[in-house]
Amino acid sequence: MKKKIIFTGRVQGVGFRWTVTRIASGYDVTGYVKNRSDGTVEVVAQGNGKAVDAFVDEIAETMKRYISRVDVQPYLNEEIYPTFTVAH
């Protein structure tokens, strides 16, 4: 399973990417996190469905004070990500 998640709110400049990367290390997920020019943060996560869902849930819970909206959608890109990284 692969999902693309867009986090909206005060999500840049608060350690969001670092926190997401730390959380990812506790799950069997790969993909990336990156700041977008519109002030949102994009996460692409791939892995077992339960692991991806738990990963997204933990991000939302851990960073809830900064998040005003979470948009989750299937990600149809066929690229395979070997690790979880910060993209630029």
Active-site positions read: 17, 35
- Measure the CA–CA gap between 42 and 53, rounded to whole angstroms: 15
17-20: list long-range contacts, CB under 8 Å, 24+ apart.
Answer: 17/41, 17/86, 19/59, 19/62, 19/63, 20/59, 20/63
